Chain A
């Protein structure tokens, strides 16, 4: 083989490899598109319905019971998947003073917003948290190393850290759901273990005032789609670009 033939051969070979890679990449991106889930879960919280029953904590109690979230005496150790906070704190960016007057003593129910563009996922160094195709921002507690980057990244305070071993503080244990250990972060999972069985999240299920609406945003006839079409809703800090999927309606 002379030099000219060798160069020709090398050129053809390089083209072949490049073409193969290109075809591979294109076919992979197609396969990904096909795998897309058809669901996008979201929730709406009604201020007025939630406020109707004063001091009601049914959703918080049931969530923390079935997910083995303990209660600590010291609030600094506290863990929360779903919690209540004053309106002025949750919607501190709402500058309308008249609203602040009207909603002064209102407790707002908060939980993980399962963002469309979750900042916690971006910063997680171990991929212990990631966004599922159905929109749920999921946690793999097996992989969490407790670096707490996600807690710093989350603008909603939806994540809490296990400063202590939670097991001794559990008053009642639900053996169907694991607890966590000291040194990892935890948060609401939109009850994905219930969704996989065809059930709705426990907080939505248990609410006596039906203040929580849950469903699939991709289905125009779902409860959540109808509610969001028909009623005025706000989100927590939408200008941050996180795309929260927990909506607040009046």
Chain B
């Protein structure tokens, strides 16, 4: 009986060790926070947070396959482009794109072909 309880305790300790690790290192409620640049994005921030990947896919297909080079939204008219348009405001890929993608273990392949503009030192 004692052996079973000891075994169970050991099992539970191992089972919850990741939670314990996060509590000790203070990362229990860690959510990556992003610095959102000033001004309007092509769509609202909430929408972009949730659906930016769908927007990017629509942009890709529109630009390459349908020859549509402009995107018209409620915030204005934009030239479709990842490096040219998105990264003009979100100029620091490491602090913007990567922070959440790393957290979520997502590895988008955009950057194999598309270029990352050089990060300018903040004044």
Report which A residues bind B (CB closer than 8 A).
Answer: 130, 132, 138, 140-142, 173, 175-176, 178-181, 192, 196-197
B115 touches A175 (CB 8 A): yes
Interface of A is mostly: loop
B113 touches A181 (CB 8 A): yes
Cβ-based interface call for B58 (8 A): no
Q: What's the Cα separation between A138 and B63 when bound, in Å?
A: 12
Q: What's the Cα separation between A181 and B117 when bound, in Å?
A: 18
Q: What's the Cα separation between A142 and B60 when bound, in Å?
A: 9
Convert B97-123 into 0s and 1s, putting 1 for each residue whose CB lies closer than 8 angstroms to a CB of A: 000000000000000111101000000
B83 touches A142 (CB 8 A): no
B60 closest partner in A (C-beta): A142
B64 touches A138 (CB 8 A): yes
B113 touches A178 (CB 8 A): yes
Q: Which of B67, B114, B117 contacts A178 (CB 8 A)?
A: B114
B83 touches A140 (CB 8 A): no
Q: Which A residues touch B64, using CB under 8 A?
A: 138, 140-142
Q: With A173-B115, A179-B113, A180-B113 as known contacts, state yes or no: A192 contacts B83, CB within 8 Å.
A: no
Which residues B52-86 have CB closer than 8 A to chain A?
60, 64-65, 67, 69, 83-84
B113 touches A175 (CB 8 A): no
Q: With A175-B83, A176-B83 as known contacts, state yes or no: A141 contacts B67, CB within 8 Å.
A: no
A181 touches B67 (CB 8 A): no
3 tightest CB-CB pairs across the interface, nearest first?
A178-B113, A175-B115, A181-B112
A37 closest partner in B (C-beta): B67
Q: What's the Cα separation between A181 and B64 when bound, in Å?
A: 17
B83 touches A141 (CB 8 A): no
A176 touches B84 (CB 8 A): yes
Q: Which B residues touch A176, using CB under 8 A?
A: 83-84
Question: What are 29 residue pairs bridging A and B, where the CB atoms are less than 8 Å apart in the complex?
Answer: A130-B65, A132-B67, A138-B64, A138-B65, A140-B64, A140-B65, A141-B64, A141-B113, A142-B60, A142-B64, A173-B115, A175-B83, A175-B115, A175-B117, A176-B83, A176-B84, A178-B83, A178-B113, A178-B114, A178-B115, A179-B113, A179-B115, A180-B113, A181-B112, A181-B113, A192-B67, A196-B67, A196-B69, A197-B69
B113 to chain A, nearest CB (A): 4
B64, B112, B113, B114 interface centre (most CB from chain A within 10 Å): B113
Q: What's the Cα separation between A180 and B109 when bound, in Å?
A: 12
